[in-house]
Structure 1
Amino acid sequence: MEDKKISHGDGTSRREFVKSAAIAAAGFMIVPRYVLGGKGYTAPSDKLIIAGVGVGGKGQSDIANFYKSGKAEIAFLCDVDDRRAAASVKAFPQAKYYKDWRKMFDKEHKHFDAVSVSTPDHNHAIITLAAMQQKKHVYVQKPLTHDIYEARALTEAAKKYKVVTQMGNQGASNDGPRKMKEWYDAGLIGDVHTVYAWTDRPVWPQGIPWPGTKGSVPAELDWDLWLGTAPYKEYVDKLVPFNWRGWWDYGTGALGDMGCHLIEAPFSVLNLKYATDVQASVGSVYVDEFKRGYFPESCPPSSHVTLTFPKTDKTKGPVTLHWMDGGIQPERPEELGANDVFGDGGNGTLFIGTKGKLMCSTYSDNPRLLPLSRNENIQVAEKYKRVPGQAEGHYGQWVEACIAGYGKNELSSPFEIAGPLTEALLMANLAIRGFDVKKPRPQGGFDYPGRYIKLLWDNANMRVTNFDEANQYVKREYRKGWSLGV
């Protein structure tokens, strides 16, 4: 009987072992440049050797784009679900396959240079930090992490271990952010004091109770590994591969999914870093025909969050940033025609300055001054270097930077930028989750002290100073047996 291509255990089939032995006997082996290294060493191949963790869906397209750059080899694949991994296994038949990233790191760390991480949000940090501790360059899907503490830890680790990093908000490599920076620097809209970002997400279930019926774990899925750092729960149908986004144990809601794409532009244009305070209002759902309610395990169906950022070197004062999801949108600017598209319809970002307004679509695409007639004769010199291929070039940019080495090449979304951006989104989620913190009343029922207040943020200590109950979401407790390792 022929060996199966997908194997478990030590990650290789008999056929692969024989093939590997033959290659070794012929005197050729893929070895990362740092192993052969030494100061000034030039590798015989200028290709980056990559291991992918989470190689279905977005992870599949990520590694395909690395390979498309022409300067990367996909040497290892890892996924807890054989069904999701199947397309990548077929596309990269030479790659050795694992189910457990820990085993892959332990056995193969000498044989790859970099790691691509595209798992559900709750496992991003633990995989990424483990890779950096082995001096691997990392590309991580957005949002960078599930918790604020994790984002800060990865930002600091990137500097400590001197590895090349990039978050998967590919719009950061578009021409749009660079063009908007040039327009803003030229004073076309004056000083920005207010920004709106909005999305029609979620497009998955939110604001619902946890399913009461246990499902049957598919044979191809290792459910315990999928859970990873999250609390143990019995498997339920339709959670995998996509609907986990709406549950706090695993996902970060609409903010985590779209915030890195829609708030990247104001971070880039205005040099925003860490917010000082946050407040929110959220949509509720009908529990029955007489009352509305919230389900604390699930992200709400809609929200409006307001963040305050301190003055930067690009602004004259603080900046107020509004985030809206669930289809909520800001009031249409009076300069926009009644039938003109606001953003790209369902999503967009709007800058309000002292001399004008500027909007763009998802991924910072199609920036336009308002009124739209102002775009007919814009004459501003290009001063920010463009990324070849724009969003598609985001992947090759990281590959090239890894080959060049730490600190050599400019990146669009390294952790020094992606970390603070992710923290802002997760701060917004602190306010959203604070709605569900409840305290029993002596006379019966509950109070919800986190609602309708502004959370004040101590950035240095990563703490909310005026509502301690929210701090439980800054750094969650991992399931027994899992540790971030810092």
Structure 2
Amino acid sequence: MMNRRTFLETASASACFTILPRHVLAGSGVVPPSDKITVAHIGTGTEGLREMPRLMAVPEVQIVAVCDPSKHAIGYRDWGTDDLLNELRTVLDKPEWMAGTEGTVPGGRDVAKNFVETYYATEQGGAFKGCSAYADFRELLDKEKDVDAVKIMTPDHLHGIISIACMKRGKHVIMHKPIANRLREAKLVIDTARETGVATHFMPWEANGSMDQVMAWINGGAIGDLREIHNWTNRPVWPQYTSVPTASTPVPEGFEWDLWLGPEAERPYSPDYTHMVFRGWYDFGGGSMADMGHYSLWTVFNALELGSPISVEPMLTHTCGLKNGIAYTVNNDFSFPTASTVRFKYPASGKRPAVDLVWYDGGMRPPAPELEMDKEEVPIEGMMFVGSKGKILAGFQLEDPHLMPQGSMPKDLVTPVRGRGQRGAVPSGMRQWIEAVRGGPQSPSSFLNAGPISEAVNLYAVALRTGKKLLYDGQSQKVTNVAEADKYLSREYRKGWDPRAL
């Protein structure tokens, strides 16, 4: 007898199999329940809730469980007081949804469960009560054995262990960036994806721009030999702390602090570690490059065949203080700097010569005197390709590339090259992931293709944390010149949290 999971895994065996829109299947306007890919949504903070409707809009997918250490909407931060609440109300077409909670940023598993059940009850009719809620992802995996896939929207330090535990149980995985916030843990995630063969979708793929036009100019000789890539962002847009929290703060009601810490060392609870601000801590986040570099650089890594860097050199801001009238520099190996510039050196590969990749954050930007000729300023975010004969300037995610100065653009090299085009209601990466879940090939957004970019963003953090230039051997995954850097390539797992034992 064929159950629903067996159907999903074998459906692609039919040569005529195709994924059909809602209105075609069953004549009822929806995909039959037996055809749905059931998903557990792990992580229901503000970003998790904001992304949730995009997944629920996919006809072939249904969320059946949510999971988060936080039960209630307490202590969440956002870009506006009621912005997210109003977004979710618009999705539901229910202006009175969660009436009385105005002024409180939504978040937590109770809000997520309510949203999921309200959405599906409206869509499918009746009092839909098909969404379970859990604090601990391990309990979810033990009890929801028939779930096909998970979507992971937790803080960075939980990505690796949760994805590994899920893949080892045969669950397909969708995950926000980064793969993990430790280099060797990220490798373990990718190795596990390869060994288990599950379908994985790394979400930054959907926001990557096209390198087609830039590569046409580079390959056509418009800027000579490529020498440098510069990429800069206005991040961070959250606090970067200059001291470790010391105030004694009660753990909020319904918040499982131990579960939120997960694999990281025990410490007293502080709201300055958690919602939104976790990205600024080396233990819990990945900094600005992990936040935005995946979006801007993954396509660049693929197009230029960037593998492992041979060196990583940081330049970063520091904090000073006074003690008894004597100035000192804060020894900060716990949080990312306010601003930094990090230079990666990549060896030659094939026809491509050796190239430097330079990342900037905190308002740092490269000089571009050529822009004066075009009466332009260096944008707050952007990307620049520097060659032996010229430069290409593009938006942060490769939007609207042009040669600098624009008058230098040869007419025979201005042929527009078609990129990915506009994304539809169901992004192409998600569509390819669905096909992979049902037995098709892995999609371009698979974890298997994210090794080099994951390595770079984790080495960025290690270089900043040590404050030293690192010489790196990609084959052994070791820093060869700074002994203390090695401990930052992995983490010491608390008892019960080693991903190899989950």
Q: TM-score range by the shorter chain?
A: 0.7 to 0.9
User: Match for 2:149: what amino acid?
Assistant: A
Candidates 147, 166, 170, aligned match of 2:201:
166
- Provide the C-alpha distance between the structure 1 equivalents of 2:49 and 2:194, rounded to a whole number of angstroms: 28
Q: Give yes or no for the alignment of 1:424 onto 2:448.
A: no
**Paired residue for 2:309, among 275, 282, 299?**
275
- What's the counterpart of residue 224 of structure 1? 258
- Number of the residue aligned with 1:124: 159
SS at match of 1:116: strand
Does residue 475 of structure 2 align to residue 460 of structure 1?
yes
1:234 and 2:268 matched: yes
1:39-50 residue pairs with structure 2 within 5 A? Answer: 40=13, 45-50=34-39
> How far apart in 1 are the matches of 2:64 and 2:215?
38
Aligned residue in 2 for 1:138 = 173
Work out whether 1:57 is the aligned partner of 2:46.
yes
2:229 and 2:384 in contact (8 A); partners too: yes
Number of the residue aligned with 1:31: 4
Q: Which residue of 2 aligns with 1:300?
A: 337
- 1:245 corresponds to 2:300: no
Query: Closer, same or farther in 2 for the Cα pair 1:177/1:99, shift >3 Å?
Result: farther
1:286 matched to 2:320? The reply is yes
Which among 190, 202, 205 is matched to residue 236 of structure 2?
Answer: 202
Structure 1 equivalent of residue 78 of structure 2:
none
What one-letter code is carried by the residue in structure 1 that aligns with 2:58? S
Cα 1:396–1:376 shift into 2, 3 Å: farther
**For 1:397 and 1:363, how far apart are their aligned partners in 2?**
22
What residue number does 1:480 align with? Answer: 495
Structure 1, 275-284 or 184-193: larger mean CA deviation: 184-193
What are the ranges of 5 or more consecutive residues in structure 1 without an aligned counterpart? 1-28, 436-450
- Distance in 2 between residues matched to 1:304 and 1:270, nearest whole Å: 21
Q: Distance in 2 between matches of 1:428 and 1:200?
A: 17
**DSSP-derived class of the 2:52 partner:** helix
Is 2:251 the counterpart of 1:214?
Answer: no
Distance 2:398 2:330 in 1: 36
2:465 to 421, 433, 438: 433
- C-alpha displacement of 1:153: 1.2
SS at match of 1:263: helix
Question: Which residue identity does 1:307 align to in structure 2?
Answer: F
Which blocks of at least 5 consecutive residues in structure 2 are unaligned?
Answer: 20-31, 74-106, 118-129
CA distance in 2, matches of 1:314, 1:397: 34
Q: Which amino acid is 1:245 matched to?
A: R
Change in CA separation of 1:172 and 1:391 when aligned onto 2, cut-off 3 Å: farther
**CA-CA distance at 1:398 after TM superposition:** 4.7
RMSD: 2.9
CA contact 2:282–2:335 (8 Å) conserved in 1: yes
Letter of the aligned partner of 2:196 in structure 1?
Y
Confirm or deny that 1:320 pairs with 2:367: no
Q: Is the 8 A contact 2:228 2:355 kept in 1?
A: yes
For 1:88, the aligned partner's letter is A
Q: Which residue of 1 aligns with 2:25?
A: none
Whichever residue aligns with residue 279 of structure 2, its letter is R
3-state SS of the aligned residue for 1:77?
Answer: strand
| Separation (CA, whole Å) in 1 of partners of 2:457 and 2:250 | 34
Normalising by structure 2, we get a TM-score of: 0.79
Give 1:70 shift.
Answer: 2.3
TM-superposed CA distance for 1:194, in Å, is 0.5
> SS state of the match for residue 143, structure 2?
helix
Q: Deviations over 1:161-200 (max 9, x none)?
A: 11222222145554x3344344444444343111111122
Give the length in aligned residue pairs.
Answer: 433
* TM-score for the superposition, normalised by structure 1: 0.81
Q: CA deviation at 1:123?
A: 0.8
In the alignment, the residues of structure 2 paired with residue 360 and residue 95 of structure 1 have an alpha-carbon distance, to the nearest angstrom, of: 44
Deviations 1:453-484 (CA, angstroms, capped at 9, x unpaired) = x3211212111112221100111101122111
2:280/2:335 contact within 8 Å kept? yes
Per the alignment, in what secondary structure is the counterpart of residue 460 of structure 1? coil
Partner of 2:80: none
3-state SS of the aligned residue for 2:427? helix
Cross-structure match for 2:70: 81
CA distance in 1, matches of 2:36, 2:11: 18
Among all aligned residue pairs of Structure 1 and Structure 2, give the percentage whose two residues are the same amino acid. 30
Which range is displaced more, 147-156 or 233-242? Answer: 233-242
Provide the rounded CA distance (Å) in 1 between the counterparts of 2:299 and 2:351. 13
Amino acid at match of 1:372: Q
Structure 1 distance, partners of 2:64, 2:400, is 37
Instruction: Quote the residue 1:91 is aligned against.
Output: 115
